[in-house]
Amino acid sequence: MPRKIVVIGAGGAGLTAASTAREHNPEAKIDVFTEDEYIAYSPCAVIYAIEGVIEDFDSIIMHTPEYYGKKRNISVHTKTKVASVDVDKKIVNVADGTSMPYDALVLATGGRMFVPPIEGVKLPGVYTIKHVAEGKAMKAALKKTDCVVIVGAGVIGLMMAVAVRNLGKKVTVLERYPNVIPRIIDEDMSAIVQKHCEGLGIKFVMGTPITAIKGKEKVESAVAGGKEYPCGMVIMATGVRANLELPNQMGLEIGQLGAVRASTTLQPYRNDHLVSDIYVAGDMIMCESAATPGPIMSQLGSTAVRQGRVAGINAAGGYATYPAALSPWVTYLGEIQAAGTGLSKGLAEYFGLSIVEGKAVGLTRARYYPGGKEITAKIIADKETHRILGAQLVGGEEVTGRINWMTGAILNNVTVEEFVTSYENAYCPPTSMVKDVVNQAAEVLMAKLNGSK
Amino acid sequence: MPRKIVVIGAGGAGLTAASTAREHNPEAKIDVFTEDEYIAYSPCAVIYAIEGVIEDFDSIIMHTPEYYGKKRNISVHTKTKVASVDVDKKIVNVADGTSMPYDALVLATGGRMFVPPIEGVKLPGVYTIKHVAEGKAMKAALKKTDCVVIVGAGVIGLMMAVAVRNLGKKVTVLERYPNVIPRIIDEDMSAIVQKHCEGLGIKFVMGTPITAIKGKEKVESAVAGGKEYPCGMVIMATGVRANLELPNQMGLEIGQLGAVRASTTLQPYRNDHLVSDIYVAGDMIMCESAATPGPIMSQLGSTAVRQGRVAGINAAGGYATYPAALSPWVTYLGEIQAAGTGLSKGLAEYFGLSIVEGKAVGLTRARYYPGGKEITAKIIADKETHRILGAQLVGGEEVTGRINWMTGAILNNVTVEEFVTSYENAYCPPTSMVKDVVNQAAEVLMAKLNGSK
């Protein structure tokens, strides 16, 4: 009898799990269930399709259910809700009344947009961004309005603000925290990003939570700090919470961050015991931080595919682990790129760590080479051990590789001194300074830690 | 009495040593001697000035001798040859008959272009590239010729070939090895680079050393493999050798690679003993490889400033080390970037290591995001320990950060399995694929090492 693998969820985590399971087990019967109509796309790509940088929504979809069927012998059941899972009997019960037994189950139902329960939030003209269907509706609606309020200045809120601004709309961003991309990057780095976005014509109302949305039949304004901001559309970019419907029904343990607690093999817990033959992955789970002991959620596409791979190997009967996450991320905001990895100042404080910061401003090319763009690097280290805990970058180009570089250093518990002494950078005038801005920041940090300069 | 620090050489290593010594010792008397007229420029920037990407030669010069005098209280003596150093008496003897005592000496006289002693090599129209003066002469001479032969398809030869081709000249590159950037990158990666350069209209004659340069009063042709290649100019890009004039006079130990042997504190050896108060840095020295036990030379600008910093701190009375080098490098060849770090296949064989390779071809952006460019990543691991030993990249953009990322992994003795399991990549559609090409290459390599797929 071939192994029966069932995957619930068809985002990055679920489909990577299914494909990886197929690679590791050519014989298995693999079924994927999703409530969604469209599969295999990056939610952040929806924003580019709304803006029109990407011509149509179809092109962001990597593969169709038919492709999975024909090319990988994986059955994808779209628009199909799973009502419950019987963990003891190892059976998935579909909402249409059918059921399917499994040998191994991958749960990857992702996250749900969190929308604060304020007045007017159900009015026509209030949108969230995650699914293709929502994106299509928003794109059509944007043609009929000139003025948009975006709630939340996190990465998704800012990406959306830039996209809508590029479409020529008036854009106001409301944020309850005092700085953009709050908690994940520090105030000084936030300030660079906010200034850049303001330069694009985006207005910010900071430290001011939205309290209501006004309108008779549809959105007419958003209210924050007692002031009314007239608009034809409100986009809620107020974060993603783990989708806990099935985990709760299944009795899986939920951790302190409100997500499914998982072992390094990505197995969930139930009644204080690891559950055999169930694996969890993606936006719905909580794992260990690789920067410091403590839990984090890593709700990133890159994390989803990494966790999906591990879940898929294990579901296929192999063995793989996902030990811990640093959640390196990068975003592109109209000619500027911002990125981070490991702990920010705020997160380090949350974990009770004393930190020292080093920062440098440089260029992405040699000073004399045309086209160089400003880039700011910041490194955070533990005051006690001098271990690098986090890094942040904001610059005009070539930011992604640098944040991966720092991610590797943190993973290997590298101290600032070791970084300065041994972390060579590659150099040629069109792609870097002879001493990279990251190395410069590390030298500043080392001087501070050693009390000189 | 303030400490007397003398630096011989005013390239990246020498001037970084002088500036770093000043930062660490505000009182010291610091003198820099150089035979050169121009100081503080990157030799590879000379090529961009010849091409005209950079408008004039002046703009590649970071600082003038006057700047060092006024801003850093460092006396730079240009066009001043040091005839000898009396190591026992600690005195530098200048060619003009004056002399200067030192408490600490930094020797950073760099490299000299190696030019094979073939027939016709002294003819007018034969050039090397390193100094500003040569660059200016070559730029003027290029106006009078349409056809150039470049000898050597290493990084400098290829950069020069692209520059001269961009000026509209016919360009033929002669290379004695069968592939471009030989030994440093592998044949398969070389092939991508060569094909790209051929697409720019550059002709290659491979596996064919130059045997003579013909001409009556000036260059008329180059001869290789019994064939004559007519041309008005020959550019010798046949490598840089350590400048051993002063080291030999001083009796310093020369290592098996023909360069000054140095301790991790960058002190040279003499009569089997470490020399006190002398530090060496830059193109003239040999150090340990960080990838495998064995010596390497790292003749890179980025290495020069790193070593210069260590020499400067130590010369100022501090303590710093340069333990080992991986020599990450990157070059830009007309819309393509090539880079490497650690060991290539050829170097691994030289060191007697059995290796396994993993390679992946991807894009620099998400498949659907406009403007993405092809990028190929190759990772080399030790067959026995699975430790990553080297990496190579060729792609249209965002190559430098990735090679630094791999450099960090090699420095930390990361295995392929650890890389696959823990090395997360940051992702957003405009700057990477959800699983970066480097991570893809690591997965291919892990599958090969583990005998599956």
**CB A403 to CB B412 under 8 A?**
no
* Nearest CA-CA partner of A388 in A428, A426, A356, A430: A356
**CB B428 to CB A54 under 8 A?**
no
Calculate mean pLDDT across residues A308-325: 96
| B313: chain A residues, CB-CB within 8 Å | none
Q: Residue A171 forms beta bridges with which residues?
A: A148
Contact call for residues B237 and B151 (beta carbons, < 8 A): yes
Strands B233-236 and B126-128, how do they pair?
parallel
- Distance (Å, whole) CA A182 – CA B61: 41
For residue B211, give how far its alpha carbon lies from the nearest alpha carbon of chain A (Å). Answer: 32
**CB B429 to CB A42 under 8 A?**
yes
Q: What is the ipTM of this complex?
A: 0.94
**CB A12 to CB B404 under 8 A?**
no
Pairs of CB atoms within 8 A across A/B? 210
Closest residue in chain B to residue A365, using alpha carbons only: B400
**CB B425 to CB A404 under 8 A?**
yes
For residue A220, give how far its alpha carbon lies from the nearest alpha carbon of chain B (Å). Answer: 33
| C-beta neighbour count of A18 within 10 angstroms | 30
* Sign of the C-alpha dihedral computed for residues B193, B199, B203 and B207 taken in this order: positive
Calculate mean pLDDT across residues A420-441: 95
Closest residue in chain B to residue A310, using alpha carbons only: B421
**CB A422 to CB B12 under 8 A?**
no
* Nearest CA-CA partner of A397 in B440, B41, B61, B373: B373
For residue B424, give how far its alpha carbon lies from the nearest alpha carbon of chain A (Å). Answer: 7
C-alpha dist (Å) from residue B11 to A130, A440, B282, B285, B345: 54, 19, 9, 14, 32
- Distance (Å, whole) CA A402 – CA B407: 12
- Distance (Å, whole) CA B176 – CA B437: 32
Split chain B (453 residues) into runs of 10 and give each run's mean pLDDT: 96 96 97 90 88 88 91 96 97 96 97 93 94 92 97 96 97 97 95 98 97 97 97 96 97 96 97 96 95 90 95 97 95 95 94 96 94 97 97 97 98 97 95 95 96 59
Contact call for residues B102 and B5 (beta carbons, < 8 A): yes
User: Residue B227 has which token pair?
Assistant: 């064939």
Closest residue in chain B to residue A423, using alpha carbons only: B408
Closest residue in chain A to residue B434, using alpha carbons only: A302
Contact call for residues A64 and A58 (beta carbons, < 8 A): no
Helix axes B155-166, B43-51, angle to 10 degrees: 20
Candidates B387, B427, B439, B453: best to mutate against A (most CBs of A within 10 A) is: B427
- Nearest by CB: A426 against B339, B366, B431: B339
Calculate mean pLDDT across residues A229-251: 96
Computed over every residue of chain A, the mean pLDDT equals 95
**Type of residue numbered B345:** K
**CB B328 to CB A23 under 8 A?**
no
- Distance (Å, whole) CA B110 – CA B245: 11
- Distance (Å, whole) CA A209 – CA A175: 6
Helix axes A12-24, A65-72, angle to 10 degrees: 10
For residue A218, give how far its alpha carbon lies from the nearest alpha carbon of chain B (Å). Answer: 33
| Strands in A114-195 per DSSP E | 126-128, 147-151, 170-174
User: Residue A407 has which token pair?
Assistant: 């991610």
User: Residue B88 has which token pair?
Assistant: 């026992």
The upper half-sphere exposure of residue A216, i.e. CA atoms within 13 Å in the direction of its Cβ, equals 0
Q: Helix, strand or coil for residue B424?
A: coil
Q: How far apart are the first and last CA of chain A?
A: 70
Q: Would you mind telling me the total number of residues written for chain A in this entry?
A: 453
- Nearest by CB: B424 against A59, A326, A399: A326
Q: Can you give the pLDDT at residue B451?
A: 80
Q: Which residues of A315-326 are buried (b: 16+ CB within 10 A; e: fewer)?
A: bbeeebebebbb
> What pLDDT digit, counting tens, does each position of A342-399 carry?
999 999 998 999 999 999 999 999 999 999 999 999 999 999 999 999 999 999 999 9
Q: How far apart are the first and last CA of chain B?
A: 69
Q: Report CA A420 to chain centroid distance, whole Å.
A: 30
The upper half-sphere exposure of residue A156, i.e. CA atoms within 13 Å in the direction of its Cβ, equals 21
| A425: chain B residues, CB-CB within 8 Å | 302, 328, 400, 404, 407
Q: Which residues of A are catalytic?
A: 44
* Phi and psi, residue A88, nearest 5°: -70, -40
- Distance (Å, whole) CA A308 – CA A302: 10
C-alpha dist (Å) from residue B379 to A303, B332, B360, B374, B448: 22, 20, 9, 17, 12
Band the pLDDT of A453: cuts 50, 70, 90.
Answer: very low
In order of start, what are the domains of chain A with their CATH numbers?
Answer: 4-111+241-315 (3.50.50.60), 126-238 (3.50.50.60), 332-449 (3.50.50.60)
A452 pLDDT above the threshold of 70: no
**CB B431 to CB A332 under 8 A?**
yes
* Nearest CA-CA partner of B131 in B62, B43, B47: B43
User: Residue B108 has which token pair?
Assistant: 């950073």
Q: Which residues of B are catalytic?
A: 44
C-alpha dist (Å) from residue B451 to A17, B356, B383, B447, B448: 21, 11, 12, 6, 5
| A397: chain B residues, CB-CB within 8 Å | 397-398
For residue B90, give how far its alpha carbon lies from the nearest alpha carbon of chain A (Å). Answer: 29
**CB A321 to CB B431 under 8 A?**
no
